[in-house]
């Protein structure tokens, strides 16, 4: 969004909307996973695409910063929303990377000796993950575990960790994307009046308010 003139509201909204679609696209990225690492399938797409997406968003922000900074309320509102989205996505991808590192470390635990294979017990683990499998699913798990050089029990555990990590990054990307869309719509809806950025929490960008709520909850 580089221009010699101050961006209008439509351009600002389009900037945020494009960023929203880019962030959401992280979740649909495909990555070829070898059979020996099939338990990482839920997370490798976002993990591989994430750095590229962050780089693209950061480049666009730097392009904007190379120009005279927005001085209108709408421009400052859009900038705050975009910067919050970029920071949140960067933090979420760092957490995903740490989670995948932990999964890989856990997967490296030596396999049990033949005859001492861990049982697949139906039910739920301490975090509520459903371990109930059909006969077909059990056969698929045993086959995948064999390809990965793991026991079925160990395979299920690392796969569960992978699914949890995938759920966390999915929630983050969807909240970031929807927040950007809401902020873009707010800019357009306020076309006949000033976008307020200093009249209380209700006038702050959606993502800024979400981040403030997360910070308060962490205290």
d(CA 1, CA 60): 7
Q: Is the pLDDT of residue 128 over 70?
A: no
- The per-residue pLDDT for 140 is 87
Residue 61 per-residue DSSP state: H
Indicate the range of 66-80, 118-132, 203-217 predicted with least confidence: 118-132
Q: Helix or strand or coil: residue 195?
A: coil
Partners of residue 124 on adjacent β-strands? 130
Check: CB of residue 46 under 8 Å from CB of residue 26. Answer: yes
Residue 124 per-residue DSSP state: B
Angle between helices 9-25 and 152-189 (to 10 degrees): 170
Both tokens of 209, joined, read 């308010």
Check: CB of residue 160 under 8 Å from CB of residue 125. Answer: yes
Q: Is the dihedral of CA 140, 29, 162, 180 positive or negative?
A: negative
d(CA 127, CA 195): 43
- The per-residue pLDDT for 206 is 79
Predicted TM-score of the model (pTM): 0.78
Check: CB of residue 44 under 8 Å from CB of residue 150. Answer: no
């Amino acid at each position: 969004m580089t221009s010699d003139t101050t961006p209008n509201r439509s351009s600002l909204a389009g900037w945020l909307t494009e960023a929203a679609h880019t962030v959401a696209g992280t979740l649909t990225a495909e990555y070829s996973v070898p059979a020996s690492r099939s338990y990482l399938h839920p997370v490798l797409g976002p993990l591989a695409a994430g750095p590229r997406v962050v780089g693209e968003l950061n480049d666009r922000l730097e392009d904007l910063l190379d120009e005279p900074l927005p001085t209108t309320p709408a421009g400052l509102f859009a900038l705050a929303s975009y910067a919050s989205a970029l920071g949140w996505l960067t933090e979420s991808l760092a957490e995903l990377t740490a989670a995948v590192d932990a999964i890989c470390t856990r997967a490296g635990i030596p396999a049990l000796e033949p005859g001492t294979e861990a049982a697949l017990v139906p039910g739920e683990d301490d975090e509520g993950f459903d371990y109930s499998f059909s006969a077909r699913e059990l056969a698929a798990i045993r086959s995948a575990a064999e390809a990965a050089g793991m026991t079925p029990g160990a395979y299920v555990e690392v796969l569960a960790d992978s699914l949890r990590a995938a759920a966390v990054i999915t929630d983050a990307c969807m909240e970031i994307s929807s927040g950007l869309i809401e902020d873009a719509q707010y800019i357009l809806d306020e076309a006949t009046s000033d976008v307020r950025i200093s009249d209380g929490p209700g006038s702050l960008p959606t993502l800024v308010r979400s981040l403030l709520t997360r910070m308060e909850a962490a205290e």
